[in-house]
Amino acid sequence: MSERNAEHGGEYAALIAAARTARENAHAPYSNFRVGAAVRAKSGRVFTGCNVENATYGLTMCAERVAIFKAISEGERGFDAIAVVADTDALTPPCGSCRQLIWEFCGDAEVVLANLAGKVERHHMAALFPKPFDASFL
């Protein structure tokens, strides 16, 4: 189920703003599809990321993964929300690889999708990624 707040993104306004700012650093010379993400740790710290493309595409890193990897590399564990911002009319959800990684490190966190026009949707990861593969299967 999604919740919309086209005005400010409600309690997630700062997280959306951080993702929007991170988007400006995206390296997307091939697709021109620039994405920013910001993940909020349960400690309150926010880590941002942008997509970084590579000519082979397979080595491209999505904004969500960059943000989470930065947080993990700084010793943070436990996250409660992630925002993803792109310049699209239809809001852009995380790709399959990012959904797996978000589930692994954030669990059923709030996923906030936003665009540059101020459109916002909120989803729980369980709705975006039903029946995930995780450590419980190992």
CB proximity list for 65: less than 8 A, separation 6 or greater: 49, 97, 98, 101
What's the CA dihedral at 115, 53, 78, 1 to 10 degrees?
Answer: 40
b (16+ CB within 10 A) / e for 33-58 = ebbbbbbbbeeeebbbbbbbbeeeee
Catalytic one among 64, 76, 110, 121?
A: 64
In the annotation, is 74 catalytic? Answer: no
Structure tokens at 116: 């540059």
Looking at the annotation, which residues are catalytic?
Answer: 64
